Chains A and B, each alone.
Chain A
Amino acid sequence: MAMTIHVDIVSAESEIFSGTAEMVFAPGVMGELGILPRHAPLLTQLKPGEVRVKNGDSEESFYVSGGMLEIQPHVVTVLSDTAVRAHDIDEAAALEAKQKAEDALKDKTSEFEYAKAQSELAEAVAQLQAIKKLKSRGR
């Protein structure tokens, strides 16, 4: 039997593939990688593309939108991204998060107002009840 290497393809949200393969192809940032068993330890980034897991004649392929690739002599791990990453997009997301924080601070009143309104309402209800009681007693 041909030598095999263990392959794990995982993303932050789920496990995509786990099994053995004779050869793995992955789209590294520096170019396509073909990985055979006993590959030297390597850590690299992936660019969007196809990861192919080859077993004899059959071949399975998975699309990754980027991520990391870790190779050890008998284990290949693909840490796939689930989100499209780009510096600009990340930057925009960070700005949005900051904006939201500022809004939340400005919005300090809302929760507070709510509590205040609630207590005022309770007071009003109590007053109404008292008036009702007085009226029925007066009759």
Chain B
Amino acid sequence: MAVGKEIRTKINSIKNTQKITRAMEMVAASKMRKAQERMAASRPYAQKMRNVVDHLAHAHPEYKHPYLEERDVKRVGYIVISSDRGLCGGLNSNLFKRTVASMKEWHDQGKEIELCTIGSKSSAFFARLGGNIVAQTSQLGDRPEIADLIGVVKVMLDAFNEGRLDRLYVVYNDFVNTMTQAPKIEQLLPVEKKEDKELEHHWDYYYEPEAKDVLDALLVRFIESQVYQGVVENLACEQAARMVAMKSASDNAGDLIGDLQLVYNKARQAAITQEISEIVAGAAAV
């Protein structure tokens, strides 16, 4: 029957799309679980690092590390972590909006900005925006490794060491829960001091070999672990956001199919009714 051929093709094509979105939803759900595990696995290290660094910020070693000292802000650096792929709702655009707002504040004060982008979405966005990107990495995959981040972090740290940057932020999506991801801007350098009376103690470590070498190595690792934590967290966010986006896409496809099916059935019925009435009319005429 020729009735509603277009509608049928349309329904089929939507069904195919729905199959894809449903598959993507399930893939994202399983990847999200793994990403969450990875997030939890890297937390103890970051936590331990934080404890040691907090202690160092309050201890009084003979050597004051530049990473622990506030200085006049002339230039600001951002490490922006985004996903590599799209189809994850407003995840990346929300993050960029937040970043650009924060960048604008600094810009209005006449400060210059350097960017380091992790993930191809952020490099594409900031390249188009005309941002000053000094380091970039992408395609970290589902299992990011610290080794992938050493390079980009070093570029920013070197800039800080040379005095080219006076402040460094990291921007990523914070995994609140499956439904909620919040863009977050965190200050990396100078390391923020936690106000805690408990830390005001009077003992200090022995450093081996020298306080300077140990602090250098430790603080670099601390920054790297913070960035890594951001990357892992952003990955979990990406998968969660994709899962939610794909779920609503599948639901929408379902609604659309329902509506089209109704239209199709009506058209088919109308055609049959017409045919019958034509036959009846024909028979009556004879």
Contacts and interface: CB of A to CB of B under 8 A. Distances in A.
Partners in one complex: yes
B49 A79 contact: yes
Interface in A82-96: 82-83, 85, 89-96
B221 A83 contact: no
B41 A13 contact: yes
Contacts of A103: 136
Interface residues on chain A, size class: 35 or more
B205 A42 contact: yes
Interface string B225-266: 100100000000000000000000000000000000000000
A111 to B, nearest CB: 5
Nearest to B229: A12
Contacts of B136: 97, 100-101, 103-104
A40 B206 contact: yes
Contact of B123 (A83, A92, A104): A104
Contacts of B221: 12, 67-68, 79, 81
B26 interface: no
A30 interface: yes
A34 interface: no
B151 A43 contact: no
Nearest to B138: A100
A30 to B, nearest CB: 5
B128 A108 contact: yes
B45 A101 contact: no
Contacts of A29: 208-209
B160 to A, nearest CB: 13
Contacts of A104: 117, 123-124, 127, 133, 136
Given A97-B137, A100-B136, A10 B48 contact: yes
B207 A43 contact: yes
A134 to B, nearest CB: 20
A45 interface: yes
A130 B52 CA distance: 70
A28 interface: yes
Given A8-B44, A12-B224, A105 B133 contact: yes
Of A14, A41, A97, chain B has the most CB atoms within 10 Å of the CB of A97
A11 interface: yes
Contacts of A107: 127
Interface string A100-129: 110111011001100000000000000000
Given A93-B147, A108-B128, 9 more contacts: A10-B48, A12-B225, A14-B42, A30-B208, A30-B209, A43-B205, A79-B49, A104-B133, A105-B127
In the A-B complex, list the 3 residue pairs whose CB atoms are closest, starting with the nearest. Answer: A93-B151, A83-B147, A97-B151
